[in-house]
Chain A
């Protein structure tokens, strides 16, 4: 059943990514070159709708959160490193599989590179965890918990900011 859920969810995600035209190199690097904001529209729409759904279901006691640990050293440095690789490859881990499905077969190089990257990371994980992994460890924290307000206030603020951003992008014709 787990396999089937994964397959079906991925299949629908693949259709939406492909229909949204967000998996191509030109779209990904186009965003990083600040020329094409399709991915921002797609991604921010997804999280704005998603946060409402997640906190609704959480409030009803139907789901549990699965928050990733905030270790500033790891998230900041790792995030920067990811960005460097992302710009060189022009795909991210999930979207490159969609790009492959669309026939952009240079995604295969990305998949090979990522498997190599996984091996290298496993080799250096222990010393990395014991050094950078201890810099600014705040545990599994969420924005509303840190500020000490209701998640719904955060969601409403983000919704307003998101809609303003979308409005600005459309007005600029981006």
Chain B
């Protein structure tokens, strides 16, 4: 049913295989999956270009500094490549500036989407670094280890996210939305 609805792999199977991948990564490479640390390291790399003196004065960057050969950096590059190949092979690649759901509520303006997305990204990483991880590091890797911080973090991610998503989409879509089941009209064959 999910295959028919989304044109993808059953999410239980894709998820289960992701669990196996996460375990193998720990076993073979000794690395737990995570993503948000790289944005702190990347921030250090950029700040270092403009003011190395200022960057070296920040305590946080003593631990999370830019590392060109970092496992997680290449893990993230791998995600882009894997999703690209998978999307092209399954003909679900779609060059899109504004997501369908966003457009139905807020219109097709790229600028409006950009401002909110940049703001959202900045807030999200601030929170993730404060909490010590994101849905990958806390949600997947943390809970796999039965870490208390992982469970609390995931619950709080959802509490914050559900409240704000309901606030910004209060009143529903302005225009007609595509019926459930054709989430990307014309996109997927």
Chain A residues proximal to chain B, CB less than 8 Å: 2-26, 29-30, 32-35, 38-39, 41-51, 53-55, 57, 62-72, 74-106, 109-123, 125-126, 128-129, 132, 138, 140-144, 146, 151, 154-155, 166
Enumerate chain B residues within 8 angstroms of A51, measured Cβ to Cβ.
143-146
B33 lies within 8 A of A78 (CB): no
Contact assessment for B97 and A78 in the assembled complex, using a CB-CB cutoff below 8 Å: no
With A51-B145, A105-B95: A19-B129 Cβ-Cβ less than 8 Å: no
Whether A97 and B158, one on each chain, are in contact in the complex, defined by CB atoms closer than 8 angstroms, is no
- Write out the residue numbers on chain A whose beta carbons fall within 8 Å of the beta carbon of B169: 29, 33
Query: With the chains together, A77 CA to B152 CA distance in Å?
Result: 10
State the main secondary structure of chain A at its contact with B. helix
Q: Is B52 an interface residue (CB 8 A)?
A: no
In the assembled complex, how far is the CB of residue A97 from the closest CB belonging to chain B, in whole angstroms?
Answer: 4
Instruction: Give the CA-CA distance A39 to B15 in the complex, in Å.
Output: 9
Select which of A2, A22, A74 is within 8 A of B131 by beta carbon: A74
- B-side interface mostly: helix
Q: Is the CB of A80 within 8 A of B82?
A: no
A64 to B26, CA, bound (A): 8
Min distance, Cβ A73 to any Cβ of chain B, angstroms: 9
Is the beta-carbon distance between A10 and B101 smaller than 8 angstroms? no
Residues of chain B whose beta carbon lies under 8 Å from any beta carbon of chain A? 2, 6-9, 11-23, 25-36, 38-44, 46-47, 58-61, 64, 69-87, 90, 92-102, 110, 113-114, 116-166, 168-169, 180, 183-184
Count, A-B residue pairs, CB within 8 A? 534
Would you call A121 and B126 a contact (CB within 8 A)?
yes
List A contacts of B18 (CB < 8 A).
Answer: 13, 16-17, 20, 42, 45-46, 50
Contact between chains at A3 and B69 (CB < 8 Å): yes
Q: B122's contact among A39, A70, A85, by CB below 8 Å, is which?
A: A85
User: Which residues of chain B come closer than 8 Å to A54, judged between CB atoms?
Assistant: 23, 26, 144-145
Shortest CB-to-CB span from A158 to chain B, Å, is 8
A146 neighbours in B (Cβ, 8 Å): 148
A111 CB contacts on chain B under 8 angstroms: 39, 121
- In this complex, the member of A7, A55, A119, A132 whose beta carbon has the largest number of chain B beta carbons within 10 angstroms is A119
Residues of A within 8 A of B135 (CB): 43, 86, 92-95
Q: Is the CB of A15 within 8 A of B132?
A: no
Contact B15 A45 (CB under 8 A): yes
Contacts of B23 in A (CB 8 A): 49-50, 53-54, 57
